[in-house]
């Protein structure tokens, strides 16, 4: 029976690395807004000998699109074995009193509100034995990280509540802490830093999957 892995935020960075690492053992359902990046991910999976992924170029902030995706997963595979949530909006760094309202609204929509909708839709697909993972980046309270830190903390609070509620009945929900990686998100926060000492996404994907 085919094992399935839904990866939201799969087009680049850790999400793409997780997809590539899981491709030999799972059918990958890759969600992101950028069609071209998803196609490049699929090319890399195929080049490594994996089966073609299911590409879902969608906006996770659109509840109807996510409902359609999850219904399609149920109709085709009957459920999911794994959900890895890597989608994030990295708002520009700004003093708390100068956060752009559009950046704040986008951060809330992607980093928090979409997650509450996705948990409701994905949990039935995972059932009792499935697994879900979220990836922490504790910036809450750090200077200039107001929009990102607050909404990422809200995401983690939702995930931790779900993990506690599901502990005895499933699915199994984990909060994992990646090491700093040379991703586009980090480059927005720390432009010009020496990236030579950062962990590669591929190495981090292998380490984090071992924890699951």
* Beta strands, E only, 130-194: 131-135, 172-176
Which domains can be identified in the chain, with CATH numbers? 4-211 (3.40.50.720)
Count other Cβ atoms within 10 Å, centred on residue 180: 14
Q: For the segment 116-143, what is each residue's pLDDT rounded down to a tens digit?
A: 999 999 999 999 999 999 999 999 999 9
Residue 2 clears pLDDT 90, i.e. is over it: no
Give burial (CB, 10 Å; 0-12/13-18/19+) of 136: middle
pTM, to two decimals:
0.96
Tokens at 189, concatenated: 């926060």
Q: For the segment 149-199, what is each residue's pLDDT rounded down to a tens digit?
A: 999 999 999 999 999 999 999 999 999 999 999 999 999 999 999 999 999
Percent of the residues in the chain that have a pLDDT greater than 90, as a whole number: 98
Q: Which residues partner with 192 through β-bridges?
A: none
CA distances 196 to 172, 182, 192, 199, 202, Å, are 35, 8, 12, 8, 15
Tokens at 44, concatenated: 């890399």
Q: For the segment 64-102, what is each residue's pLDDT rounded down to a tens digit?
A: 999 999 999 999 999 999 999 999 999 999 999 999 999
pLDDT of the residue at 115:
98
Q: In what order do the strands lie in the sheet with 172-176?
A: 54-57, 27-32, 4-8, 82-85, 131-135, 172-176
CA–CA separation, 185 and 107 (whole Å): 13
Residue 1 clears pLDDT 80, i.e. is over it: no
Report the number of secondary-structure helices (H) and strands (E) in the chain. 8, 6
């Amino acid at each position: 029976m085919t094992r399935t892995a839904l990866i939201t935020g799969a087009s680049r960075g850790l999400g793409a690395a997780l997809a590539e690492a899981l491709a030999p053992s799972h059918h990958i359902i890759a969600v992101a807004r950028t069609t071209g990046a998803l196609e490049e991910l699929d090319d890399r999976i195929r080049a490594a000998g994996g089966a073609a992924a299911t590409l879902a170029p969608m906006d996770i902030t659109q509840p109807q699109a996510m409902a359609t995706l999850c219904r399609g997963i149920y109709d085709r595979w009957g459920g999911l074995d794994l959900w890895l949530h890597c989608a994030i909006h990295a708002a520009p760094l700004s003093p708390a009193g100068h956060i752009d309202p559009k950046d704040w609204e986008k951060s809330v929509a992607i980093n928090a509100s979409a997650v509450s909708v996705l948990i409701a839709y994905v949990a039935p697909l995972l059932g009792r034995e499935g697994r879900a993972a979220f990836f922490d980046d504790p910036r809450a309270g750090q200077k200039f990280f107001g929009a990102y830190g607050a909404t990422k903390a809200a995401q983690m609070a939702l995930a931790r509540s779900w993990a506690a509620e599901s502990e005895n009945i499933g699915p199994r929900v984990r909060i994992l802490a990646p090491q700093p990686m040379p991703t586009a998100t980090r480059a927005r926060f720390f432009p010009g830093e020496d990236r030579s000492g950062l962990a590669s996404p591929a190495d981090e994907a292998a380490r984090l999957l071992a924890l699951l």
